[in-house]
Amino acid sequence: MIIGKVIGNLHSTINHPFYDGKKLLMVEKIGTNEKPISGYLVAVDHAGAGIGETVLILDEGTGARQVLESSDGPVRSVIVGIVDEISETKAP
Amino acid sequence: MLIGKVIGTVVATEIYEGMTGVPLLLVQPLAKDGTKKGNAVVCADGTRMAGPGELVYYEGGREAAMTLNPSFVPVDHAIVGIVDGVEAADWKEGAV
């Protein structure tokens, strides 16, 4: 899983039927210091996240389909949690 | 998924069985501010409704083929939806 920050919403009416009624969010990937690292992705929201929140993203197809209760949905990225805190232990 | 802009079409008459009739579109990946990022990729159009000039979101990897029927086809990028609007602080409409 990766950590990201929600930076925007994406609206769509014409889409694959699997995406009907699914909320899509733009998420910027961030490092452990909560600073952006390269790239963003568009993920299906399954945690009720909003803009500005730090989230946990699952970027793997089989798990994503399990979360969204589908056997054949063309989905890979799904927001599965909202992060409260990240603490990194420094290497000795 | 990533956001991209359809910049052209690709036609292949001789193609893997199961992919005949599937529209192939040239998609320019976009960064989070709506500017170009990297090189264009060929996407199968899972919506069958996208066309040049449109903003789309596409899936990469094994999941891309799952937009199609049959889904056991050699496809690694596919358009899953057409973007109506993006609401993001960094996003600049029409940057490409």
Q: Using an 8 Å Cβ cutoff, are A42 and A19 in contact? A: no
pLDDT band with cut points at 50, 70 and 90 for residue A73? very high
Structure confidence at residue B66 (pLDDT): 94
Q: Give the C-alpha distances (Å, rounded to integers) separating A39 from A7, A49, B30.
A: 12, 19, 10
Q: What is the pLDDT of residues A57-67, one digit of tens each?
A: 999 999 999 99
Q: How far is CA A68 from CA A34, A74, B76, in A?
A: 27, 11, 21
Interface residue B48 vs chain A (CB under 8 A): no
pLDDT band at B96 (very low <50, low <70, confident <90, very high): confident
CA distance B55 to B5: 5
Of the pLDDT bands very low, low, confident and very high (cuts 50, 70, 90), residue A88 is confident
Q: Which domains does chain B have, with CATH numbers?
A: 2-82 (2.40.50.220)
Q: What are the chain A neighbours of B82 within 8 Å (beta carbons)?
A: 12-15
* Cβ neighbours of B67 in A, within 8 Å: 16, 74
* Domains in chain A with CATH codes: 2-82 (2.40.50.220)
**In the 8-state DSSP scheme, what is residue A17?**
G
* pLDDT, position B76: 95
CA B14 – CA B41 distance, rounded (Å): 19
Give percent of chain B with pLDDT exceeding 70: 100
Over the stretch B42-64, which tens digit does the pLDDT of each residue have? 999 999 999 999 999 999 999 99
**Is pLDDT above 90 for B19?**
yes
Q: Which helix (DSSP H) or strand (DSSP E) does residue A26 occupy?
A: strand A24-30
pLDDT value at A92 more than 80? no
- The shortest CB-CB distance from B82 to any of A8, A12, A75 is to A12
Neighbour tally for B81: CB within 10 Å: 29
pLDDT tens digits, A1-39: 999 999 999 999 999 999 999 999 999 999 988 899 989
Contact yes or no for B46/A16 (Cβ under 8 A): yes
Does A41 sit within 8 Å of B1, measured CB to CB? yes
